[in-house]
Amino acid sequence: MPDTSYTDITMLLDRSGSMQSIRGDVVGGFAAYVDTQRADPGRCTVSLYQFDDRYDEVYVGRPVAEVPALVLEPRGTTALLDAIGRTIVSTRTRLAALPEGERPGTVVFCIMTDGMENASQEFTHAAIKRLIETQEQVDGWTFQYMGADQDAIEVGASIGIDASQALTFDRGKAADALRTAGRSATRLKQARMAGHDVAAARSQAAFTDDERDQAGSS
Protein backbone atom coordinates (compact mmCIF):
# COMPACT_ATOMS: atom_id res chain seq x y z
CA MET A 1 0.00 0.00 0.00
CA PRO A 2 1.13 3.60 -0.54
CA ASP A 3 2.56 5.51 2.41
CA THR A 4 -0.25 7.64 3.86
CA SER A 5 2.28 9.77 5.75
CA TYR A 6 3.86 10.86 2.46
CA THR A 7 2.43 13.68 0.32
CA ASP A 8 3.69 14.58 -3.15
CA ILE A 9 2.72 18.02 -4.48
CA THR A 10 3.11 19.15 -8.08
CA MET A 11 2.79 22.88 -8.76
CA LEU A 12 2.11 24.01 -12.32
CA LEU A 13 2.37 27.80 -12.59
CA ASP A 14 1.45 30.03 -15.50
CA ARG A 15 4.23 32.47 -16.32
CA SER A 16 2.68 34.00 -19.47
CA GLY A 17 3.07 37.74 -19.99
CA SER A 18 -0.20 38.66 -18.30
CA MET A 19 1.14 37.28 -15.00
CA GLN A 20 3.53 40.24 -14.74
CA SER A 21 0.97 42.39 -12.90
CA ILE A 22 0.53 39.79 -10.14
CA ARG A 23 4.05 38.36 -10.07
CA GLY A 24 4.82 39.65 -6.58
CA ASP A 25 1.60 38.25 -5.15
CA VAL A 26 2.26 34.86 -6.72
CA VAL A 27 5.80 34.75 -5.32
CA GLY A 28 4.54 35.59 -1.83
CA GLY A 29 1.61 33.22 -2.06
CA PHE A 30 3.81 30.38 -3.22
CA ALA A 31 6.05 30.92 -0.19
CA ALA A 32 3.00 30.78 2.08
CA TYR A 33 1.78 27.58 0.40
CA VAL A 34 5.16 25.92 0.95
CA ASP A 35 5.44 27.17 4.54
CA THR A 36 2.08 25.58 5.32
CA GLN A 37 3.31 22.23 4.04
CA ARG A 38 6.57 22.52 5.97
CA ALA A 39 4.62 22.94 9.21
CA ASP A 40 2.60 19.77 8.66
CA PRO A 41 3.67 16.37 9.98
CA GLY A 42 4.75 13.63 7.62
CA ARG A 43 6.96 13.57 4.57
CA CYS A 44 6.29 15.98 1.71
CA THR A 45 7.98 16.47 -1.66
CA VAL A 46 7.32 19.27 -4.12
CA SER A 47 7.80 19.55 -7.88
CA LEU A 48 7.57 22.84 -9.77
CA TYR A 49 6.80 23.34 -13.45
CA GLN A 50 6.26 26.67 -15.22
CA PHE A 51 4.79 27.40 -18.62
CA ASP A 52 3.93 30.03 -21.17
CA ASP A 53 4.24 28.95 -24.80
CA ARG A 54 7.37 27.22 -23.50
CA TYR A 55 7.52 24.64 -20.73
CA ASP A 56 10.11 24.18 -17.98
CA GLU A 57 10.69 21.56 -15.32
CA VAL A 58 12.16 23.68 -12.52
CA TYR A 59 12.70 20.91 -9.95
CA VAL A 60 11.18 17.50 -9.21
CA GLY A 61 10.52 15.62 -5.98
CA ARG A 62 12.35 18.08 -3.77
CA PRO A 63 11.85 17.70 0.02
CA VAL A 64 9.61 20.53 1.17
CA ALA A 65 12.28 21.78 3.59
CA GLU A 66 14.58 22.38 0.61
CA VAL A 67 12.16 24.23 -1.67
CA PRO A 68 13.71 27.59 -2.68
CA ALA A 69 12.00 30.93 -3.14
CA LEU A 70 9.98 31.12 -6.33
CA VAL A 71 11.49 32.86 -9.35
CA LEU A 72 8.81 33.88 -11.85
CA GLU A 73 9.64 35.75 -15.06
CA PRO A 74 6.42 36.28 -17.05
CA ARG A 75 6.54 36.16 -20.84
CA GLY A 76 4.83 34.62 -23.84
CA THR A 77 1.39 33.11 -24.39
CA THR A 78 -0.62 30.41 -22.59
CA ALA A 79 -0.14 26.77 -23.65
CA LEU A 80 -2.13 25.55 -20.66
CA LEU A 81 -3.33 22.20 -21.98
CA ASP A 82 0.09 21.09 -23.20
CA ALA A 83 1.62 22.03 -19.85
CA ILE A 84 -1.00 20.08 -17.90
CA GLY A 85 -0.67 17.03 -20.14
CA ARG A 86 3.11 16.94 -20.08
CA THR A 87 3.23 17.39 -16.31
CA ILE A 88 0.68 14.67 -15.64
CA VAL A 89 2.59 12.21 -17.82
CA SER A 90 5.91 13.12 -16.17
CA THR A 91 4.51 12.86 -12.65
CA ARG A 92 2.71 9.59 -13.34
CA THR A 93 5.90 8.04 -14.73
CA ARG A 94 7.97 9.22 -11.76
CA LEU A 95 5.57 7.90 -9.13
CA ALA A 96 4.92 4.61 -10.94
CA ALA A 97 8.67 3.89 -10.83
CA LEU A 98 8.60 3.81 -7.02
CA PRO A 99 7.97 0.56 -5.14
CA GLU A 100 4.32 0.51 -4.07
CA GLY A 101 5.11 0.93 -0.39
CA GLU A 102 7.17 4.04 -1.13
CA ARG A 103 4.54 5.79 -3.23
CA PRO A 104 2.79 8.80 -1.69
CA GLY A 105 -0.61 8.19 -0.14
CA THR A 106 -1.59 11.75 -1.06
CA VAL A 107 -0.88 13.30 -4.45
CA VAL A 108 -1.82 16.94 -5.07
CA PHE A 109 -1.61 18.52 -8.51
CA CYS A 110 -2.07 22.29 -8.25
CA ILE A 111 -2.61 24.50 -11.31
CA MET A 112 -2.57 28.32 -11.26
CA THR A 113 -3.27 30.50 -14.29
CA ASP A 114 -4.58 33.96 -15.05
CA GLY A 115 -5.54 33.37 -18.66
CA MET A 116 -7.28 31.11 -21.10
CA GLU A 117 -5.68 28.44 -23.24
CA ASN A 118 -4.38 29.95 -26.49
CA ALA A 119 -1.20 28.16 -27.62
CA SER A 120 -1.32 24.38 -27.10
CA GLN A 121 -0.36 22.12 -29.99
CA GLU A 122 -0.40 18.61 -28.53
CA PHE A 123 -3.26 18.15 -26.06
CA THR A 124 -6.98 18.95 -26.39
CA HIS A 125 -9.53 19.68 -23.65
CA ALA A 126 -10.96 16.19 -24.13
CA ALA A 127 -7.55 14.54 -23.82
CA ILE A 128 -6.73 16.45 -20.64
CA LYS A 129 -10.12 15.59 -19.16
CA ARG A 130 -9.47 11.89 -19.77
CA LEU A 131 -6.02 12.14 -18.19
CA ILE A 132 -7.27 13.94 -15.10
CA GLU A 133 -10.24 11.64 -14.59
CA THR A 134 -7.97 8.60 -14.90
CA GLN A 135 -5.47 9.90 -12.37
CA GLU A 136 -8.23 10.79 -9.91
CA GLN A 137 -10.17 7.56 -10.27
CA VAL A 138 -7.34 5.06 -10.70
CA ASP A 139 -4.44 6.57 -8.75
CA GLY A 140 -6.32 8.79 -6.28
CA TRP A 141 -4.74 12.10 -7.20
CA THR A 142 -6.42 15.37 -6.23
CA PHE A 143 -6.32 18.28 -8.67
CA GLN A 144 -6.63 21.93 -7.62
CA TYR A 145 -7.38 24.58 -10.25
CA MET A 146 -7.05 28.32 -9.57
CA GLY A 147 -7.91 30.80 -12.29
CA ALA A 148 -8.18 34.59 -12.62
CA ASP A 149 -10.07 36.49 -15.33
CA GLN A 150 -12.30 33.45 -15.89
CA ASP A 151 -14.91 31.24 -14.27
CA ALA A 152 -12.50 28.72 -12.78
CA ILE A 153 -15.28 26.29 -11.90
CA GLU A 154 -16.45 26.21 -15.51
CA VAL A 155 -12.94 25.97 -16.93
CA GLY A 156 -11.98 23.33 -14.39
CA ALA A 157 -15.05 21.27 -15.26
CA SER A 158 -14.07 21.36 -18.94
CA ILE A 159 -10.88 19.47 -18.08
CA GLY A 160 -12.35 17.15 -15.44
CA ILE A 161 -11.65 19.03 -12.21
CA ASP A 162 -14.42 18.97 -9.62
CA ALA A 163 -16.02 22.29 -8.64
CA SER A 164 -15.05 21.71 -5.00
CA GLN A 165 -11.38 21.97 -6.00
CA ALA A 166 -11.68 24.90 -8.42
CA LEU A 167 -11.18 28.48 -7.24
CA THR A 168 -11.75 31.76 -9.07
CA PHE A 169 -9.56 34.55 -7.70
CA ASP A 170 -9.33 38.29 -8.24
CA ARG A 171 -6.10 39.43 -9.85
CA GLY A 172 -5.16 41.32 -6.71
CA LYS A 173 -5.66 38.26 -4.53
CA ALA A 174 -3.31 35.71 -6.03
CA ALA A 175 -1.48 35.35 -2.72
CA ASP A 176 -4.77 34.67 -0.92
CA ALA A 177 -5.64 32.03 -3.51
CA LEU A 178 -2.36 30.20 -2.99
CA ARG A 179 -2.71 30.37 0.80
CA THR A 180 -6.19 28.91 0.42
CA ALA A 181 -4.88 26.10 -1.78
CA GLY A 182 -2.20 25.39 0.83
CA ARG A 183 -4.82 25.05 3.56
CA SER A 184 -6.87 22.75 1.34
CA ALA A 185 -3.83 20.54 0.72
CA THR A 186 -3.22 20.38 4.47
CA ARG A 187 -6.80 19.26 5.13
CA LEU A 188 -6.44 16.61 2.45
CA LYS A 189 -3.21 15.16 3.80
CA GLN A 190 -4.46 15.26 7.41
CA ALA A 191 -7.58 13.34 6.44
CA ARG A 192 -5.53 10.72 4.60
CA MET A 193 -3.13 10.36 7.53
CA ALA A 194 -6.15 9.89 9.81
CA GLY A 195 -7.22 6.92 7.70
CA HIS A 196 -9.94 8.44 5.52
CA ASP A 197 -10.25 7.21 1.96
CA VAL A 198 -9.51 9.57 -0.93
CA ALA A 199 -13.15 10.53 -1.53
CA ALA A 200 -13.71 11.47 2.11
CA ALA A 201 -10.41 13.34 2.24
CA ARG A 202 -11.30 15.33 -0.87
CA SER A 203 -14.59 16.30 0.73
CA GLN A 204 -12.74 17.73 3.72
CA ALA A 205 -10.31 19.54 1.43
CA ALA A 206 -13.03 21.31 -0.59
CA PHE A 207 -12.69 25.08 -0.80
CA THR A 208 -15.10 26.67 1.69
CA ASP A 209 -17.40 29.62 1.04
CA ASP A 210 -15.23 31.76 3.34
CA GLU A 211 -12.11 30.80 1.40
CA ARG A 212 -13.81 31.66 -1.87
CA ASP A 213 -14.80 35.04 -0.46
CA GLN A 214 -11.22 35.73 0.65
CA ALA A 215 -9.99 34.99 -2.87
CA GLY A 216 -12.58 37.33 -4.33
CA SER A 217 -14.55 34.69 -6.21
CA SER A 218 -17.97 35.90 -5.14
Each residue's pLDDT tens digit, 166-216: 999 998 999 999 999 999 999 999 999 999 999 999 999 999 999 999 998
∠124-164-154 over CA atoms, to 5°? Answer: 40
**pLDDT tens digits along 72-101:** 999 999 999 999 999 999 999 999 999 999
pLDDT at 217 over 70: no
- As a whole number of angstroms, the distance between CA 126 and CA 114 comes to 21
Give the residue extent of every domain in the chain: 3-214
Asked if residues 46 and 11 have their Cβ atoms less than 8 Å apart, the reply is yes
User: What are the b/e assignments for 52-62, b being 16+ CB within 10 Å?
Assistant: bbeeeeeeeee
Average model confidence (pLDDT) for the chain?
95
pLDDT for residue 117: 85
Report the 10 Å Cβ neighbour count for 71.
Answer: 10
Does the model's pTM come out above 0.75?
yes
pLDDT at 218 over 60: no
Q: Which CATH architecture describes the domain 3-214?
A: 3-Layer(aba) Sandwich (3.40)
For residue 113, the cross-strand partners are: 147
